[in-house]
Amino acid sequence: MPEIKQALMPTPPWRRTDYCGAPRAKDAGREVALWGWVATRRDHGSLIFIDLRDREGIIQLVFNPEHDAAAHAVAEAARAEFYLAVRGRVVRRSEGSVNAELPTGEIEVVVTAAEILNPSLPPPFPLSGAEGAAEEVRLKFRYLDLRRPEMQSNLRRRHQALRGARAYLDAHGFIEVETPILFKATPEGARDYLVPSRVNPGRFYALPQSPQLLKQILMVGGFDRYYQIARCFRDEDLRANRQPEFSQIDIEMTGPRPEDVHEMAEGMMASIYQYAAETEIERPFPRMRYDDAMERYGSDKPDLRFGLEMRNLSAAFAGTQFKVFAETLARGEQIYGLVLPAACQLSRRELDDMAEGLRSRQALGLAWLKIAPDAWQGPIAKFISDQERTRVAEIAAPAAGDTLLMIAGARGKVRPALGDLRLRLGAKFDLIDRAALKFLWVVDFPLFDFSEEEKRLVSVNHPFTAPHPDDIGLLDSEPLKARALAYDMVLNGQEMGGGSIRIHNAELQLRVFELLGIGREEAAVKFGFLLDALGFGAPPHGGIAFGVDRIAMMVCGTDSLRDVMAFPKTQKAVDPMSGAPSEVDPRQLRELSIRVAL
Ligand code: ASP
């Protein structure tokens, strides 16, 4: 191995003139100086080829012992992921060796000087083709994973997305204000991360689940328009696409109507797509009432990239001879269906499996009918009268060859179950237009939901959401019927962001707390500072927050949050690289007046 003189030198032997990925045919003849990692090395006896990689791409280096024996010796010694500095001349490749796949594929660099700045241990997984490596390993050696062009590109798109958001918000008078990480619990529906206070023994800060209360208080404090790329923490059991900490583009405005927030958010999203994907998005986004979304798509984040809309068929089966449906209707429950077009055929076996899945997981029954020109076929066909067929045809308009799938049961269970089936069928039969960007607003959410578990009302959004002005009267009589001035932005079946107009009146806020089972005393302890602030001329206000990670996933076209975060945690909330969370020194615990009771 040539002497690694550079290993102890903190700076490279020469300045870089170019990134590896930058030179093109027009640079032929130019002397360049590059730094980078060895991506691949091919030893052809006397000639050695190295693909050198940096954040901008890959360039082919040629080492010829006749040009420079010392440089050639470096190439002989170099291995995957060694960090090299080279100097040389850009030359055009011969016609036959042009690589059209590579942006630098028309040229190569004939190396005249080379040094190893740092050798590398053999990488534990190949950087090209790393998708096949176990994710634990990729996360443990994240710095290697991050060198891969895919990760480089994802994180840069994420950066562009944030630039797009900032550019829009700056241009529209929003002021970026940072809010504390050490704060008090804000209920967003998840468990808090707690931080003990050494100087106040026995007391804890909560890491913010969102800056919700502080952004509202910034409106009371006169900032009028605020934003922040805010880090949020929620201690939840991690499902597939959840992380314990995540970033949010958090926004609040003074005095908006919901439409004003929508217009602003659409403008920001357009800017994000322009910066990060060079794509124009269509505006304004359509709006859909929460009830319609549930009724037609069985979801509050409908994927509009394909049809298969659901229909309520209950009316068609009034007085039916089919016992299961008759009993369903007698209980005041519903029958929902969707029509699967003739091109999408399910085998008897697939239908049976689907029915079995619904029965065992959700205790719901699936019925189906194949639509033939003269008769309908299937196990329940003989119970269906002509009149029912006519009425079903009026509602759902099935054509010959189609399959009608129906689920019967309580509305609250049937709609999401059929909505879920709709999504699975859309994916199975490839009905989803993958190139489409189907944005929409879901509006008119209910203010409350009833938690069977806790036997009390809970907020659908959060407790600071304003009731719809037409529904304030319902708070006393039928609170579950009251709508909220809340809205979600949905894209391709994913929730991108959500927000609301807030309660700016202390009395109304107390009333809503009361309905949620938070009495005046508890409200004063937990939210006294907010209630106080509302008492000092708080202006009407509202806002929204967007998941940065979700946005990045969308603009990068990936399904995994971990592909768009530099240092994500595993499903067990562990960072395999550093080993966090870890045990701490007993002395630290003593200082915090904390004893671990395992
Ligand atoms: N604080 C809400 C959230 O984090 C968003 C909002 O209402 O602005 O989901």
Span from the CA of 250 to the centroid of ligand 1 (angstroms): 7
Pocket test for ligand 1, best of 246, 250, 496 (most atoms within 8 A of CB): 250
For residue 527, the surrounding DSSP H or E stretch is helix 520-534
Task: Name the average pLDDT for the chain.
Answer: 95
Which of 186, 207, 210 for mutating ligand 1's site (highest number of atoms within 8 Å of CB)? 210
Ligand 1 contacts CB of residue 543 (under 6 A): yes
Q: Is the CB of 544 under 6 A from ligand 1?
A: yes
| Cα(43) to centroid(ligand 1), Å | 57
pLDDT surpasses 70 at 5: no
Ligand 1 mutation target, pool 462, 465, 488, 549, most atoms within 8 A of CB: 462
Sheet (strand 439-443) strand order: 175-176, 225-233, 245-254, 541-547, 494-501, 486-491, 439-443, 287-289
Atom 4, ligand 1: residue with shortest CA distance: 210
Q: Is the pLDDT of residue 380 over 90?
A: yes
Is 188 near ligand 1, meaning CB less than 6 Å away?
yes
What is the Å distance from ligand 1's center to 488 Cα? 10
Rounded to an integer, what distance in angstroms lies between the CA atom of residue 133 and that of residue 136?
A: 9
Burial of 250 (0-12, 13-18, 19+ CB in 10 A): buried
CA-nearest of 164, 168, 172, 165 to 224 is 172
State which of 445, 447, 461 you would mutate to test the pocket of ligand 1, scoring each by most atoms of that ligand within 8 A of its C-beta.
Answer: 461
Residue 254: CB within 6 Å of ligand 1? no
User: What CA–CA distance (Å, rounded) separates 262 from 256?
Assistant: 10
For residue 45, the model assigns a pLDDT of 84
Q: Which atom of ligand 1 is nearest to the CA of 252?
A: 8
The C-alpha atoms of residue 504 and residue 256 are separated, in whole angstroms, by 12
Q: Give pLDDT tens digits for 466-492.
A: 999 999 999 999 999 999 999 999 999
CA distances 193 to 204, 205, 235, 325, 565, Å, are 10, 8, 6, 48, 20
CATH number given to 151-281+439-565: 3.30.930.10
Ligand 1 midpoint to CA 458 (Å)? 16
Give the pLDDT score at 4.
61
What's the CA-to-centroid distance between 501 and ligand 1, angstroms?
Answer: 11
Q: Whose CA is nearest to atom 8 of ligand 1?
A: 544
pTM: 0.94
**Residue 515 pLDDT:** 97
pLDDT band at 236 (very low <50, low <70, confident <90, very high): confident
210 within ligand 1 shell (Cβ under 6 A): yes
Which atom in ligand 1 lies closest to the alpha carbon of residue 232?
4
Contact 112, 87 (CB under 8 A): yes
* DSSP strands (E only) in 470-594: 486-491, 494-501, 541-547
Kindly state if the Cβ of 208 falls inside 6 Å of ligand 1.
Answer: no
Distance CA 374, CA 4 (A): 84
Distance (angstroms) between ligand 1 centre and the Cα of 464 equals 10
Nearest ligand 1 atom to alpha carbon 544: 8
Q: What would the mean pLDDT of 199-222 be, rounded to a whole number?
A: 96
Residue 363 confidence (pLDDT): 86
* Ligand 1 atom closest to Cα of residue 502: 7
Distance 188 CA to ligand 1 centre (A): 8
User: Is the pLDDT confidence value at 7 over 70?
Assistant: no
Residue 237's pLDDT band (cuts 50, 70, 90): confident
Which whole number is the average pLDDT over 303-327? 96
Torsion sign over Cα 209, 213, 215, 221 = negative
> Band of the pLDDT at 387, cuts 50, 70, 90?
very high
- pLDDT at position 133 is 87
Residue 408, pLDDT score: 95
Q: Which of 340, 323, 263, 140 is nearest to 542 (CA)?
A: 263
List, for residues 267-300, the tens digit of each pLDDT value.
Answer: 999 999 999 999 999 999 999 999 999 999 999 9
- The sign one gets for the Cα dihedral 268, 273, 275, 278 is negative
> Ligand 1 pocket, 179 CB below 6 A?
no
- Determine the average pLDDT of the residues in 507-525: 95
Question: Which pLDDT score is estimated for 3?
Answer: 61
Which percentage of the chain shows pLDDT scores above 90? Answer: 91
pLDDT of residue 183: 94
Contact 122, 79 (CB under 8 A): yes
Minimum-distance ligand 1 atom for the alpha carbon of 211: 1
Q: Is the shortest distance between the CB of 212 and ligand 1 below 6 Å? A: yes
Round to whole Å and give the CA distance between 549 and 569.
13
210 CA distance to ligand 1 centroid (A)? 7
Q: State residue 1's pLDDT score.
A: 60
For residue 131, the model assigns a pLDDT of: 77
* Domain 306-428 grouped into CATH 3.30.1360.30: yes
Residue 299 and residue 293 in contact, taking contact as beta carbons nearer than 8 Å: yes
Quick one: tokens of 416? 């999401």
- pLDDT for res 242: 84
- Number of helices (H), then strands (E), belonging to the chain: the values are 16, 22
Residue 352 vs residue 189, higher pLDDT: 352
Instruction: Note the Cα 93 to chain centre separation in Å.
Output: 43
Residue 228 Cα to ligand 1 midpoint, Å, equals: 12
Give CATH for domain 25-118: 2.40.50.140
Residue 375 has pLDDT above 90, yes or no: no
| Ligand 1 and 495: CB distance under 6 A | no
Helices assigned H by DSSP within 16-113: 69-77
Evaluate if residue 190 carries a pLDDT over 90: no
**pLDDT for 347:** 94
Residues 87-104 have a mean pLDDT of 96
Environment class of 541 (CB within 10 Å of its CB; exposed 0-12, middle 13-18, buried 19+): buried
Q: Tell me, using a 6 A CB cutoff, whether residue 60 lines ligand 1.
A: no
User: What residue segments make up the domains of the chain, in order of their start?
Assistant: 25-118, 151-281+439-565, 306-428
Atom of ligand 1 nearest to the CA of 250: 8
Q: What is the pLDDT of residues 552-595, one digit of tens each?
A: 999 999 999 999 999 999 989 999 999 999 999 999 999 999 99
**pLDDT at residue 130 tops 80:** no
Residue 368 has pLDDT above 80, yes or no: yes
User: Strands 204-206, 175-176: parallel, antiparallel or unpaired by DSSP?
Assistant: unpaired
- The residue written with tokens 């007046």 in the block is 593
